[in-house]
Structure 1
Amino acid sequence: MLVKNDRISEIVDGKRVIVKKPELLAPAGNLEKLKIAVHYGADAVFIGGQEYSLRANADNFTIEEIREGVEFANRYGAKVYVTANIYAHNENIPGLDDYLRALEEAGVSGIIVADPLIIETARRVAPRLEVHVSTQQSLTNWKAVQFWKEEGLERVVLAREVSAEEIRQIKENVDIEIEAFIHGAMCSAYSGRCVLSNHMTARDSNRGGCCQSCRWDYDLYQLSDGREIPLFSEGDAPFAMSAKDLNLIRAIPAMIELGVDSLKIEGRMKSIHYVATVVSVYRKVIDAYCADPDHFTIRDEWVRELDKCANRETAPSFFAGFPDHTNHMYGTHSRKPTHEFAGLVLDYDPETGIATIQQRNHFRPGDEVEFFGPEIDNFTQVIETIWDEEGNELDAARHPLQIVKMKVKRPLFPYNMMRKEN
């Protein structure tokens, strides 16, 4: 049952409204994704630098790109946090002081950290940086959170493995900012505390090298008297240790009433289409609930919108209590999104009604496409004619990042997106 929290609400014109709105925190694997996340409604983004981050295979940011990202985000009232959440080895110590000072000088609002070494170093050499305890610390109880509060830290990122009741108890017992995941991939281990990648590929999971070995397909055998006996018949679906992705869209009212300070979306490795779609949906949900919580309902269109970019099945996971077998994927453990990203709007000419679009997937005249963005209502249309930049008619936009022009039936804006149904 949803319990109203009077500490975060007021009565305005006879109506209850949420005045302490939570931060919407979005992933940004590169500068383009950062700009998209902010444009589509994120209050803050978390990024990785070229060192000390757990996403070694993301594009990641140079210090110069971090400065540019901070400047862009601040222009729109958003913050930038940098992940420095590896478990450091001795070889990672040299250069740490200079790196943290560079982040502070770049204007970063805070860092997300797991290793006490990095926490202590940041407080010593870059005191203006907020220090947030990473989900890698697997904080699941209020006593552990209290420890970090007493250490002087501003915020903790809870483990993905906490329930709504556990969050309530943490908020009741400790006066500290709480950040919690609401959407994205789940881990088969406690928040990344895993060495499968180390064993399978000699890549250190806890220093940014996770290759998601848990999502591989496996054949299982029983060893009996030196013989390997297959546990599955030929043609059976392979086994995987793959959890369904987290999806808490229906739990956002509860998260807000619990007083969670920052609602976090996972996905620094995901596409700009994923970032735009998920951020846009949760922005609408948060704003709608905070404006009128007593008459709020989840709209089916919001749920369908998330399906347009989902590549795995989703579940509420630990939030409702300890998850059962329905939160695991069996057999085929991936799914196709209902839509694919086709193009990014660069410009629109209101006199001619012609949009300039950067191709991101193959499309051609006759395809039905959908346009969406924060300034417009979603609309669909059939593509009639496509031209290249010189005005030559094309039979298709088939080249990656190709710049094309086409007539559209409604006004568009830069950063709007075009997608088509799979």
Structure 2
Amino acid sequence: MKKPELLAPAGDFEKLKTAIHYGADAVYLGDSRFSLRGKAGNFSEDEMREAIRYARERGVRVYVTVNIFPHNRDLPDVLNHLEFLDDVRPDAVILSDPGLFALLSERAPAIDVHISTQANVTNARAAKFWERLGARRVVLSRELSIEEIREIRKETTLELEVFVHGSICLSYSGRCYISSFLASRSANRGECTNSCRWNYVLMEEKRQGEYFPVYEDDRGTYVLSSKDLCMIHHLGILADAGIESFKIEGRMKGINYVAGVVKAYREAIDAIGGPVDSVVEKRWMRELAMFSSRGFTTGMFFGRQADVDYNFDEESYRMSHELIGVVLEVKGEDAKISLKNRLDTGDHVEFLSPGLEERSFAVEGMRSDDSEHIDSARNEGIIFMKVPEGVRKRDIIRRARNFPALKSQGSGG
């Protein structure tokens, strides 16, 4: 069996480099004007050109999102962007609007088209429709079961892609108007405020100002908030059903998330078809719990999403570790590190490096960029310190949050 592609989010250039470093086969990114993640860092045209060059030199594919639902006033800028894409030649463009499909076919016919999940492809006839138009791939709706995916696979030669990890939108295939109504920011134009994650209470029409909890939590409830999708234990089943690409949600997430998810799913994909190591599988879940999530669900792949997969009356986000920094250079035992958080001598840190997972190292000393010994350093600074063997350039450093310091496994400084 050919191993499915691991497709990672690249909300900005740093996240793109992180995704590639930890093993992504492909990345998806966009210009904020035409992408459904308008609040991500995104890419200017010059940055996109450089990103495509950077990825291609490393054998990684780049898919550009142009998946807004455009109005007439958007079309002149869209046309200019399509002409730019025809020049830089990404591996594919992800879109959902039929008009944009026609424009891309006219202005940049050499670029492959991937049909976005926003197009709501839930049946074989819809897949064959896009196939006849010349699409290369379809990102299937999140509302499909594995059995339905098998049926679609039998009827089309299109490449099939599914989301396997990340946030789940409560609206049908992401077509949401809650943000527009409550905050005048359209999710369908990349400006979603995640209104479904807000705290909600019940108020009776004639009792203004009297608030009642929907459930037992008097602080409110995340009544519309689903747990995050996590299919890391079921990738073999999806591959057997005919999926060619496993997609990770998260262009607005930080590099801590990108690094951890891509690393875990890279290992899981590479393990498809081989013996299952339960110890490693448990480590994957611990690694996925290190950064912010809402808990995990398998979504609708195995049928209707269970009621327990919604965060009715608990805190929405949880995480066990926080990002400390990124390794910029390694020379022998010394590393140059870009800090993303405060770090003090005596802190225990973990390196997201192969073979060092879940090992804690004590920071015994740091130096500033002018070689002065320091005991404390704040975020956005550059420091130098000793690191264990096996740490690589671009590896990230984490620290446990709200937990007792782990017993040191060796010196990290």
Shared fold per TM-score greater than 0.5: yes
Matched residue type, 1:127: P
| Alignment partner of 1:414 out of 389, 393, 396 | 393
Larger mean CA deviation between 405-414 and 341-350 belongs to: 405-414
| Alignment partner of 2:227 out of 223, 244, 252 | 244
Aligned to 2:64, the other structure's residue is in SS state strand
* Structure 2 partner of 1:382: 362
Aligned to 1:68, the other structure's residue is in SS state helix
* Structure 2 partner of 1:355: 335
* Structure 2 partner of 1:336: 318
What do the CA deviations read for 1:165-196 (whole angstroms, capped 9, x no partner)?
11111111212110100000001101221111
Matches of 1:235 and 1:172, distance apart in 2: 47
What do the CA deviations read for 1:378-399 (whole angstroms, capped 9, x no partner)?
342100011101111222111x
1:272 partnered with 2:272: no
* Structure 1 partner of 2:406: none
What do the CA deviations read for 1:16-40 (whole angstroms, capped 9, x no partner)?
xx3x111100000011111111111
Question: How does the TM-score come out when normalised to structure 1?
Answer: 0.90
Kept in 1: contact 2:10–2:29 (CA 8 A): yes
* Structure 2 partner of 1:88: 70
Matches of 2:207 and 2:324, distance apart in 1: 51
User: Equivalent residues in 2 for 1:6-405 (5 A)?
Assistant: 18=1, 20-223=2-205, 226-228=206-208, 230-232=211-213, 236-240=218-222, 241-290=224-273, 292=274, 295-298=275-278, 299-350=281-332, 353-373=333-353, 376-378=355-357, 379-398=359-378, 400-405=379-384
Matches of 1:285 and 1:152, distance apart in 2: 32
**Percent identity at matched positions?**
39
Kept in 2: contact 1:237–1:332 (CA 8 A): no
CA 1:382–1:207 in 2, change beyond 3 Å: closer, same or farther?
A: same
Kept in 1: contact 2:3–2:272 (CA 8 A): no
CA 1:138–1:297 in 2, change beyond 3 Å: closer, same or farther?
A: farther
Kept in 2: contact 1:135–1:159 (CA 8 A): yes
The CA RMSD over aligned residues, in Å, is 1.6
Kept in 2: contact 1:373–1:415 (CA 8 A): no
User: Per-residue deviation at 1:251?
Assistant: 1.1
Matches of 2:361 and 2:93, distance apart in 1: 44
Matched residue type, 2:292: A
Count of matched residue positions in the alignment of Structure 1 and Structure 2:
395
User: Per-residue deviation at 1:336?
Assistant: 2.8
CA 1:71–1:300 in 2, change beyond 3 Å: closer, same or farther?
A: same
Aligned to 2:204, the other structure's residue is in SS state strand
Matches of 2:217 and 2:172, distance apart in 1: 32
Aligned to 1:268, the other structure's residue is in SS state coil
Kept in 1: contact 2:225–2:316 (CA 8 A): no
User: Per-residue deviation at 1:130?
Assistant: 0.7
Kept in 2: contact 1:63–1:106 (CA 8 A): no
Matched residue type, 2:344: R
What do the CA deviations read for 1:309-358 (whole angstroms, capped 9, x no partner)?
233111111111111211111123423311111010011221xx121111
Kept in 2: contact 1:100–1:125 (CA 8 A): yes
Matches of 2:143 and 2:26, distance apart in 1: 23
Matches of 2:195 and 2:13, distance apart in 1: 28
User: Per-residue deviation at 1:271?
Assistant: 0.7
Matches of 1:213 and 1:300, distance apart in 2: 33
CA 1:411–1:173 in 2, change beyond 3 Å: closer, same or farther?
A: closer
Kept in 1: contact 2:32–2:39 (CA 8 A): no
Question: How does the TM-score come out when normalised to structure 2?
Answer: 0.92
User: Per-residue deviation at 1:372?
Assistant: 1.6
Aligned to 2:199, the other structure's residue is in SS state coil
Matches of 1:286 and 1:334, distance apart in 2: 29
Matched residue type, 2:122: T
Matches of 2:31 and 2:251, distance apart in 1: 12
User: Per-residue deviation at 1:197?
Assistant: 1.0
Matches of 1:288 and 1:262, distance apart in 2: 16
User: Per-residue deviation at 1:235?
Assistant: 6.0
